[in-house]
Amino acid sequence: MTFPCPAPTSTPIPDLVLPSLGGDPYTYDVSSSFTSPCGQPITFSAVGLPPGSSINPATGLISGTANGSQIWNVTVTATTICGQTSQSFTMDFSSD
């Protein structure tokens, strides 16, 4: 099947480095790393997020509560009717 527009495009997502947060909430907006060339709505998904974290599928805002010190390798996928693209980045909650 041929779609009338190209798949979303992406640029690297900067790594997120936060101090070890003892249960503090955080947010991280990754939507600016993705563009829909034809203006189609983008749906976001993510794998590898820390427990208790999620991504808003409509906005690309990752939110959660950072507990403990750990490094997470996260992949975000942006999907439109015309295709999808992914970018990976690191969430580092181990820095003090």
pLDDT-based confidence at residue 79 (cuts at 50, 70, 90): very high
Which CATH number is associated with domain 9-95? 2.60.40.10
So what's the pLDDT on residue 5?
85
Residue 23 is predicted with a pLDDT of 76
- Is the pLDDT confidence value at 81 over 80? yes
| Reduced 3-state DSSP string for the chain | CCCCCCCCEECCCCCEEEECCCCEEEEEECHHHEECCCCCCCEEEEECCCCCCEECCCCCEEEEEECCCCEEEEEEEEEECCEEEEEEEEEEEEEC
pLDDT of residue 8: 95
Give per-residue pLDDT as tens, 6-63.
999 999 999 998 876 677 889 999 999 999 998 999 999 999 999 889 999 999 999 9
